[in-house]
Chain A
Amino acid sequence: MDVIAADGPKGSLELSDNGLLHLRWLPGVNIEVDDARVAMAKVNELCQQEQHPMLVDMEAVGSVSRQARAVWSIPCSASRIALLGTSPVDRVLANFFLGVHVPPCPTRFFTSRSQALDWLSTGD
């Protein structure tokens, strides 16, 4: 898989040759507004005006601040976003993201990677 990668101190971003963006947050990180802004800037940078589906690996993320969540209300190059987590904590974090802020593109929380990838690829 050819990837274009952009790594940061709290996570990494890849755009694979099949057009999927994959944002991975490192386990235990507390995501602040600046982290979110950096991540979004990297998304836009990698996509170069094109829209791509994005898988966000948020398993084991420590916390996401309110302002960081608000960053993801701004439209970016992601055409749809699948939030992937496993624990009840991930589910709570993801649903606060979905419930309190209105995402600019279709966004859903998944506990199954394959279901998340299916949803991203089919658009259903």
Chain B
Amino acid sequence: MISENSGEDPRLRQLVDGIVRLAAGDLSTRMTPSENRDDIDAVIAGVNLLAEELEHIYSDLEQRVADRTAMLRRTQAELEQMAKTDALTGLANRILLNERIQEALQNSTASGKAPAVLVLDLDSFKAINDTLGHGAGDAVLVEVATRLLSAVRATDTVARLGGDEFAVVITESTQNEILQIAHRASEKLQDSLRIGSETVWAMASIGVCISAPGDSAESLMRDADIAMYQAKGQGRNNVQLFHPDMLLAVQERSRITAELRNAVSGGELALQYQPVVELASGRVTGLEALLRWHHPARGLIMPDSFIRIAEESGLILELGRWVLHEGVAQLRRWNETAPNLTDFCLHINLSAAELFRSDLLADIRETLDRNHVAPQRLVLEITETVLMSRGTTEEQVLGGLRDLGVGLQIDDFGTGYSSISYLRSLPADTVKVDQSLIQDIGSDPQQQKFVAAILQLISAAGLKAIVEGIETAEQAEQLQAMGCLYGQGYYYGRPQPPEQVLDRLESLAQRRYS
């Protein structure tokens, strides 16, 4: 085996070459031992076996790395899935929804079709949770999820945003297709569902926003949300398509809310007073305090423009508190200035939300005490809707107000859904008949009869009627002839600032006695 030319065993050259190839990373390198099976062959066999071991360990390591990498990828995918899934319903959550909206927007083409977002809010879910428990509530949410999935296409995404709010991303579609899906979702939710032995409904108010060029995921969601609130405002359980006017209205509302918040502390609110008159004598029996907002930029703002916003934002409680404090304080000031002209009551409007104000009774009591005003001189005007639909809390508060000795008056009678049988059981002393009922009594004999009947009805229920909106002497005479005792309206005086009230009271008193 020893080379005759070099005197070197060629197996050694083969061995060196083999080791070089192994060192270069070619672990499949093997060398062939000779038949001698001597020490050199033993080294060759040993190197072959070591190379084989190395190759095995290397491939084993590579396999393990591949396995671990695959496992990490699977875990990462599972974690991502968990992070993007609503645990209760298995639907997409807000994060995934956002991604899908962005994908849908990116993929949209100039084909006349566009992606859209639906936002759905269940209309009576809180009642289900409150009365049947959270387990029942969860079952309802799961069923709603199933129904929504059955209403959309495979390319669309249904998500739960949290609570009882859901959303759907609709990929590129025509307006007709989008509205069809929205209405299909609404229809799927019309059927009742069984929770144990109970039957419940989970209908939804649905807002739809179809994307326009330049829209972001955020603006689409915001606008679908605005449309959903529009659907809520329109009686719930309906579908509303977003229109830019809706956004302007929301922005306006939001601006007014912010400004109104400052109005109370900034001294921008004021009260004006309108007399309530005894028709027979012309005597002023009361003054109704009416809120005015002197906006620094927009001038005088009437309550119609901001009371609803105040009620929605909860600011009504602060406004109510201010009106009570200012009105009663003004009554005290009049008492001090002209004690002989102050045998009238102060009428203050009380909103439905204020009945739930925990410190209402104490606040009224303390305000009256602080200003040395007898409770009988305060009349709280409450809309008939509040009185008709009163629950336990309202009942207790109304009872407390009566115990306090404060007068209660039904406001805007004839505009709500009054029940005649309820009229007798109402915790009130007087009823203010809405001005819309007397608008045509001068010209319409039928309306005259109708108003006369209402006045008789109020009288039969043991209540006193005040008719508001009297603008002419003829109306005043007609109402007096019908047996109406009290009236209010421009004929007797427009709302006036407090500093003008005493002068008017004096002139009215002089007119009575002249």
Residues from chain B with Cβ under 8 Å of A88 in the complex? 37-39, 41-42
Residues from chain A with Cβ under 8 Å of B37 in the complex? 60, 87-90
* CB of B166, distance to nearest CB on chain A (Å): 58
> Could you tell me the distance between the alpha carbons of A90 and B49 in the complex, rounded to whole angstroms?
12
Contacting residues of chain B (18-35) with chain A, CB-CB under 8 angstroms: 33
When C-beta atoms are compared, the residue in chain A nearest to B48 turns out to be A63
Instruction: Indicate whether B497 reaches chain A with its CB closer than 8 angstroms.
Output: no
Instruction: Indicate whether A10 reaches chain B with its CB closer than 8 angstroms.
Output: no
Binary per-residue interface labels of chain A (46-63) against chain B in the complex, 1 for a CB within 8 Å, 0 otherwise: 000000000000001001
Inter-subunit contact A93/B38 (CB<8 Å)? no
Instruction: Indicate whether A92 reaches chain B with its CB closer than 8 angstroms.
Output: yes
Binary per-residue interface labels of chain A (67-101) against chain B in the complex, 1 for a CB within 8 Å, 0 otherwise: 00000000000000000000111111100100010
When C-beta atoms are compared, the residue in chain B nearest to A89 turns out to be B37
For this complex, into which size category does the number of interface residues on chain A fall? 10 to 19
Inter-subunit contact B38/A87 (CB<8 Å)? yes
> Could you tell me the distance between the alpha carbons of A17 and B33 in the complex, rounded to whole angstroms?
38
Dominant secondary structure at the B interface: helix
* CB of B47, distance to nearest CB on chain A (Å): 10
* CB of B41, distance to nearest CB on chain A (Å): 5
Inter-subunit contact A89/B45 (CB<8 Å)? yes
Instruction: Indicate whether B369 reaches chain A with its CB closer than 8 angstroms.
Output: no
> Could you tell me the distance between the alpha carbons of A60 and B49 in the complex, rounded to whole angstroms?
16
* CB of A6, distance to nearest CB on chain B (Å): 27
Inter-subunit contact B33/A100 (CB<8 Å)? no
* CB of B241, distance to nearest CB on chain A (Å): 70
* CB of A70, distance to nearest CB on chain B (Å): 10
> Could you tell me the distance between the alpha carbons of A93 and B48 in the complex, rounded to whole angstroms?
10
Contacting residues of chain B (30-65) with chain A, CB-CB under 8 angstroms: 33, 37-39, 41-42, 45-46, 48-49, 52-53, 56
When C-beta atoms are compared, the residue in chain B nearest to A59 turns out to be B37
* CB of B211, distance to nearest CB on chain A (Å): 62
Dominant secondary structure at the A interface: helix
Residues from chain B with Cβ under 8 Å of A89 in the complex? 33, 37-38, 41-42, 45
On whether A66 and B42 interact (CB within 8 A), knowing A88-B37, A89-B37, the answer reads no
> Could you tell me the distance between the alpha carbons of A66 and B60 in the complex, rounded to whole angstroms?
13
> Could you tell me the distance between the alpha carbons of A92 and B39 in the complex, rounded to whole angstroms?
10
On whether A92 and B52 interact (CB within 8 A), knowing A60-B37, A87-B37, the answer reads no
Inter-subunit contact B53/A93 (CB<8 Å)? no
Inter-subunit contact A96/B49 (CB<8 Å)? yes
Inter-subunit contact A66/B33 (CB<8 Å)? no
Residues from chain B with Cβ under 8 Å of A87 in the complex? 37-38, 41-42
> Could you tell me the distance between the alpha carbons of A92 and B52 in the complex, rounded to whole angstroms?
14
Of listed A65, A87, A88, A92, residue having the most chain B CB within 10 A: A92
* CB of B42, distance to nearest CB on chain A (Å): 3
* CB of A2, distance to nearest CB on chain B (Å): 34
On whether A93 and B45 interact (CB within 8 A), knowing A60-B37, A87-B38, the answer reads yes
Residues from chain A with Cβ under 8 Å of B33 in the complex? 89
When C-beta atoms are compared, the residue in chain B nearest to A70 turns out to be B56
Residues from chain A with Cβ under 8 Å of B41 in the complex? 87-89
* CB of A115, distance to nearest CB on chain B (Å): 20
Residues from chain B with Cβ under 8 Å of A90 in the complex? 37
* CB of A28, distance to nearest CB on chain B (Å): 8
Residues from chain B with Cβ under 8 Å of A66 in the complex? 49, 52-53, 56
> Could you tell me the distance between the alpha carbons of A118 and B394 in the complex, rounded to whole angstroms?
107
Residues from chain B with Cβ under 8 Å of A92 in the complex? 42, 45-46, 49
Residues from chain A with Cβ under 8 Å of B49 in the complex? 66, 92-93, 96
> Could you tell me the distance between the alpha carbons of A65 and B48 in the complex, rounded to whole angstroms?
10
> Could you tell me the distance between the alpha carbons of A19 and B493 in the complex, rounded to whole angstroms?
131
> Could you tell me the distance between the alpha carbons of A93 and B42 in the complex, rounded to whole angstroms?
8
> Could you tell me the distance between the alpha carbons of A27 and B39 in the complex, rounded to whole angstroms?
18
Contacting residues of chain B (432-461) with chain A, CB-CB under 8 angstroms: none
> Could you tell me the distance between the alpha carbons of A92 and B42 in the complex, rounded to whole angstroms?
6
Residues from chain B with Cβ under 8 Å of A100 in the complex? 53
Binary per-residue interface labels of chain B (459-503) against chain A in the complex, 1 for a CB within 8 Å, 0 otherwise: 000000000000000000000000000000000000000000000
* CB of B228, distance to nearest CB on chain A (Å): 67
> Could you tell me the distance between the alpha carbons of A96 and B38 in the complex, rounded to whole angstroms?
17
Inter-subunit contact B53/A91 (CB<8 Å)? no
Binary per-residue interface labels of chain B (293-308) against chain A in the complex, 1 for a CB within 8 Å, 0 otherwise: 0000000000000000
> Could you tell me the distance between the alpha carbons of A114 and B41 in the complex, rounded to whole angstroms?
26
* CB of A61, distance to nearest CB on chain B (Å): 10
* CB of A67, distance to nearest CB on chain B (Å): 9
Residues from chain A with Cβ under 8 Å of B39 in the complex? 88
Binary per-residue interface labels of chain B (95-137) against chain A in the complex, 1 for a CB within 8 Å, 0 otherwise: 0000000000000000000000000000000000000000000
> Could you tell me the distance between the alpha carbons of A90 and B38 in the complex, rounded to whole angstroms?
10
Of listed B41, B46, B49, B52, residue having the most chain A CB within 10 A: B49
* CB of B15, distance to nearest CB on chain A (Å): 14
> Could you tell me the distance between the alpha carbons of A60 and B52 in the complex, rounded to whole angstroms?
20
Residues from chain B with Cβ under 8 Å of A96 in the complex? 46, 49
> Could you tell me the distance between the alpha carbons of A39 and B48 in the complex, rounded to whole angstroms?
24
Residues from chain B with Cβ under 8 Å of A60 in the complex? 37
> Could you tell me the distance between the alpha carbons of A114 and B52 in the complex, rounded to whole angstroms?
33
Inter-subunit contact B42/A91 (CB<8 Å)? yes
> Could you tell me the distance between the alpha carbons of A93 and B39 in the complex, rounded to whole angstroms?
13
**What would 5 A/B residue contacts be, using CB atoms closer than 8 Å?**
A66-B56, A87-B42, A89-B42, A92-B49, A96-B49
Q: Which 5 A-B pairs have the closest CB atoms?
A: A88-B42, A87-B37, A89-B37, A92-B46, A96-B49
